Amino acid sequence: MTLPDHAATGGDVPGLDHGPRPAGVPSSGHASRLGDMTFPEAEATAAAGAVLAVPVGSTEQHGPHLPLSTDADLADALCRRLAEERADVVVAPVLAYGASGEHAGFAGTLSIGTEALATLLIELGRSAGETFGRMLIVSAHGGNAEAVARAASKLRAESRDVMAWTPRWTGDAHAGFVETSLQLALDGARVRTERAAAGATEPLDELMPVLRTGGVRAVSGNGVLGDPAGATEAEGKRVLDDLTAGLLAVVARWAGPATTGAPS
């Protein structure tokens, strides 16, 4: 679940120099994924000024029609899209467990909680700092917000260059029209469209007092906050493009234009 906010920033991001891949890094389509690299390749990429992007999601219920990996899928997709546009970005393996206590009571939800997630991200950031000069946390689950903020603050206090970013959009909050459209765009074969049904459709502000005390189960029997009716792949692609443009703009302001070494 990603809490809705202002519409994602759309449009092109001017002034980005996507640049060649660093020397020593193969030019295959997997070159931007840390898990596919050897340690000399990771060393060469980091030495050229690479940013490590860490996708953080969750494993939690997303209604009767969306996969438990929905948040993790989005975080990973956004980091991969960022790396496709910026040759100085390396994507870490997705962290698929988060703080999902609000989804307790729904089968398949696996939550490690805020304290554990914050500690995990702090230790991950310290370890990543031995190789990479910058780390970007892309968290696509709203329940992770406190842990991510706490970890980023701690790492910055230790003089580490860390930024955290969360995708936000206008619309329903969880497993409704927007998230269903996004998943259709990412991998429509994994959406059980025949099972899609509306859940709690009241504005999130009205639901929040009960959500805070009783979790999603207390307001929605099927786990949906919104209505997936009318969701389309085309709408998902539009939202995904807007989110990607927003992420690119934020990273450009933080890290500047992509700079890499000479091609091998």
What is the spatial order of strands in the sheet that 161-165 belongs to?
Answer: 89-91, 51-56, 134-139, 161-165
The average pLDDT across 202-210 equals 93
Phi-psi map region of 154: left, alpha, beta (phi>0 left; psi -120 to 50 alpha): alpha
Residues contacting 123, CB < 8 A, separation 6+: none
pLDDT band at 257 (very low <50, low <70, confident <90, very high): confident
pLDDT tops 90 at residue 65: yes
**For residue 145, what are its two tokens?**
């917000």
* Residues linked to residue 200 through DSSP beta bridges, in sequence order: 225
CA distance 81 to 117: 25
Q: What are phi and psi of 136, to 5 degrees?
A: -110, 125
pLDDT of 8 reads 40
Query: Is residue 153 exposed (0-12), middle (13-18) or buried (19+ Cβ within 10 Å)?
Result: middle
Name the percent of the chain lying above pLDDT 90. 83
Q: Quote the pTM value.
A: 0.87
pLDDT tops 80 at residue 79: yes
**For residue 122, what are its two tokens?**
């702090």
Residues contacting 215, CB < 8 A, separation 6+: 101, 102, 103, 104, 105
CA distance 90 to 41: 11
pLDDT band at 254 (very low <50, low <70, confident <90, very high): very high
Residues contacting 37, CB < 8 A, separation 6+: 25, 31, 45, 90
Q: What is the pLDDT of residues 212-242, one digit of tens each?
A: 999 999 999 999 999 999 999 999 999 999 9
CATH superfamily of 34-169+243-255: Creatininase (3.40.50.10310)
**CB 137 within 8 Å of CB 54:** yes
